[in-house]
């Protein structure tokens, strides 16, 4: 069994994440891993679990937050044409 670095749970299905520089961390769930590893949106502070939207100064969870916080000219997707 291994101890989760986030919550301290001793769990038989824990997993370890390792970095090339030799660091590692052990987690009992993806949720605990996200708490430690996922970046925060610079606008709404939620955890970014996908690609996010990056500007030169920050990372955001979506285009809406990027536009609100930085006035970036970004969209989550192409607009759907009227009638289609």
pLDDT in tens, 11-68: 999 999 999 999 999 999 999 999 999 999 999 999 999 989 999 899 999 999 999 9
Q: Give residue 76's pLDDT.
A: 76
- Closest among 54, 13, 52, 53 to 30, alpha carbons compared: 13
Model's pTM, two decimal places? 0.73
Contacting residues for 27 by C-beta, under 8 A, at least 6 apart: 4, 5, 6, 14, 15, 16, 17, 33, 36
pLDDT for residue 81 is more than 90? no
pLDDT for residue 84 is more than 80? no
Residue with tokens 């949720």: 31
């Amino acid at each position: 069994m291994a101890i989760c670095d986030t919550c301290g749970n001793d769990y038989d299905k824990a997993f370890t994440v390792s970095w090339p520089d030799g660091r590692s961390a052990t987690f009992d769930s993806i949720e605990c891993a996200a708490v430690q590893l996922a970046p925060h949106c610079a606008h709404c502070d939620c955890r970014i679990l996908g690609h996010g939207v990056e500007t030169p100064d920050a990372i955001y969870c979506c285009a809406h937050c990027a536009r609100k916080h930085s006035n970036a000219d970004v969209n989550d997707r192409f607009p759907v044409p009227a009638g289609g």
